Chain A
Amino acid sequence: MELEEERVGDAFVVTARGRLDGASSSIFADRISGLMTNQKPKILIDFTEVDFVTSAGLRAVLILLKKVKAADGSFALCGVQNSVREVLDISGFTAMINIHPARSDGIAALSP
């Protein structure tokens, strides 16, 4: 998995590419956790090029969600592919995460 972060105002927008699985989930969790240094961290992850999320990946997302919630921040995804979306739906994640159709929608929702 490749990760590339960009600062947009007081938020971080992270472009993820590849598979979020057992081989990449801890790198993903560590890298995103590293961006949560502010009070109320704001994180948007662009999943447009993520084609595969396993239960190990879901665990990493859940850990990040709990951290963001504990810090009173926000965590959102955008551009989620249909098959990945189905996995998020089945696992009950859609109810816990804001999912925006496109990156521009996600960025618009970040502004205060």
Chain B
Amino acid sequence: MAPLETEVLATSEAISALTEKVLAYLEEQQVDSRAAHHVALVVEEIVTNLGTHGNCRDKPAKIRLMVEPAQVTGEIIDTGPPFDLRLAPDPAIEAPLEERPIGGLGLYLIRKLTSTLEYSHQNGQNLTTFAIARS
């Protein structure tokens, strides 16, 4: 099956357009709606994070998605500062409402929604890869 390959700047308009594109591609590839939702959400959260903490507001990130029989895999390449999102601390999701911090949920969702999540930094580039199981 043909992969989806695209580039995106991390602005909210471009990210919304990317999410549309990802959902349309996964639907065309007949990926179930739950996996399609999770893949689109994980890609959106990764790119949003690159806009906040990386340099992808100026330099586009490269996205590649592949549909395999049992899972969907994704690769995101960016040239921002090295950042391994697997190592970010978990937010206090069990804290009572009054004490709950606003934020930190994006990276947490990425870690929870993926079945594998890998990171490497090579030749000035970050490579983040993930897989999400199909049902």
Q: Are B93 and A87 in contact (CB under 8 A)?
A: no
* Cβ-based interface call for A36 (8 A): no
Main secondary structure of the interface of A (DSSP, over half): helix
Q: Known contacts being A21-B16, A83-B38, A91-B108, is A63 close to B44, with CB within 8 Å?
A: no
**Interface residues in B, total, Cβ within 8 A:** 27
Main secondary structure of the interface of B (DSSP, over half): helix
Q: Are B19 and A21 in contact (CB under 8 A)?
A: yes
Q: Are B37 and A23 in contact (CB under 8 A)?
A: no
**Interface residues in A, total, Cβ within 8 A:** 25
Across the interface, which residues of A come within 8 angstroms of B34, CB to CB? 82-83, 86
Q: Are B106 and A55 in contact (CB under 8 A)?
A: yes
B64-72, B95-103, B118-126: which lies at the interface: B95-103
> A59 touches which one: B12, B38, B98, B103 (CB < 8 A)?
B103
Q: Are A54 and B103 in contact (CB under 8 A)?
A: no
* Cβ-based interface call for A56 (8 A): yes
A105 to chain B, nearest CB (A): 22
* Cβ-based interface call for A32 (8 A): no
Q: Are A69 and B105 in contact (CB under 8 A)?
A: no
Q: Which residue of B lies closest to A51 (CB)?
A: B37
A28 to chain B, nearest CB (A): 13
